[in-house]
Structure 1
Amino acid sequence: MKKTFSLLLLSFTSLISAQAFKGKGDIKFDIAANIQNGGSGIRLSNDYGLGENISIGVVGSYLLSVSRDELDNKPDFSDRVDIKARFNANLGNVFNIDEKVDIYPGLDLGLRNFGAHLGVRYFFTEGFGIVSEIGFPIAKYKPEATGFERLNNQFVFNIGASFNL
């Protein structure tokens, strides 16, 4: 019985073929927690494959929980939200690692800065995986940003789910 079960399990798992980045025409949708100094929230992103190792996309984030400032003020909607256009170099196949894994460095242009990011996606099945990404500003539009202007304008960490569309 053990041998039969093991054989069935091995056969079933070999049929599952998840691929992290397929190249041109590939579409990814991520939903993740956004964690940064002074707040946390939700992040949504969509990436579209233009070529074997290139994708472009859009990212939106909204901070749900934000620390009050020294004067006990709460941030406005415009302080909590950020939208970015992005470019990724999908390098999973370049590094010749498991096809379920994609490592993607990239650049983004947002409402508050020009920045960079580094992310990793791992797909368990053809349609579902996990994503983790860090991001940081390279050039801030307002270098002397203070208070709530620093939200979405600093180092951020994201972790969540990724879906193939």
Structure 2
Amino acid sequence: MKKFFSLALLGLCLLLANQSFAQLAVGKGDKFLNVGIGLGGYGGIVYGGGAIAFGASFEAGVAPNITVGGVASYRPYSGYGSYYSIGARGSYHFNELLNMANDKVDLYGGLGLIYSGWTWNESYVGFRNSYGGVGFGGHIGGRYFFSDKLGGFAEVGFGVSPLQLGLTAKF
């Protein structure tokens, strides 16, 4: 399923790449803020136990085509608990490598170091539990800018949800 979403996202972004625009260059000092919802995942919509997740990520350009930053997400679970993650991540932006000449599209992928945790509290039966740990994460995504500063994004990867959709701001 993850491979299907990855290929579908990449195909959509490549279709949007039009040679009539100047190339989008992600450079040192560029900043991106993604805010969106997450769909699917363990205990999520697919399994019927959880709710829609909420997440955000922020990245800043540190070199041509390379950004680093942080990510956080949260999902309530069946009214009794929650799943959350917070961490650091970095991305490589592929437009220059793919020789894409569309200034409205940004394709990227990357890795992260993420702390994920889960809590469960059914006080009416006296059951409480929680756990957490640090692990590696990965993501592949694309942005389409409606204007110079605002766009939409789609991202697949590891975390609270395998699919994230939302708005992105560049500043």
- Scaled by the length of structure 2, what TM-score is found? 0.65
Q: Could you say which residue in structure 1 is the equivalent of 2:86?
A: 83
Distance 1:128 1:20, change over 3 A: farther
Structure 2 unaligned regions, length at least 5: 1-20, 45-51, 117-134
Q: 2:63 aligns with which of 35, 43, 51?
A: 51
Structure 1 unaligned regions, length at least 5: 1-16, 69-73, 138-151
Q: 2:31 aligns with which of 13, 21, 27?
A: 27
Q: 2:137 aligns with which of 115, 139, 150?
A: 115
Number of matched pairs: 124
* Distance in 1 separating the partners of 2:64 and 2:105: 15
Instruction: Look up the equivalent residue of 1:41 and give its one-letter code.
Output: A
Paired residues for 1:14-163 under 5 Å: 21-37=25-41, 38-39=43-44, 40-64=52-76, 66-67=77-78, 74-75=80-81, 79-97=82-100, 98-112=102-116, 113-136=135-158, 152=160, 156-163=162-169
Q: In the TM superposition, what is the alpha-carbon distance from 1:53 to its structure 2 partner?
A: 1.0
Distance 1:25 1:19, change over 3 A: farther
8 Å Cα contact 1:45/1:59 also seen in 2: yes
| Richer in strand (by share) | 2
Q: In the TM superposition, what is the alpha-carbon distance from 1:115 to its structure 2 partner?
A: 1.5
Q: Identical aligned pairs, as a percentage?
A: 33
- Scaled by the length of structure 1, what TM-score is found? 0.68
Tell me the C-alpha RMSD between the 2 structures. Answer: 2.1
Q: Determine which structure has more spread, i.e. the larger CA radius of gyration.
A: 1
For each residue in 1:41-77, what CA deviation from the matched residue of structure 2 results, as whole angstroms up to 9, or x when unmatched?
Answer: 211110100111110010110114x247xxxxx21xx
For each residue in 1:91-111, what CA deviation from the matched residue of structure 2 results, as whole angstroms up to 9, or x when unmatched?
Answer: 122212212111111001101
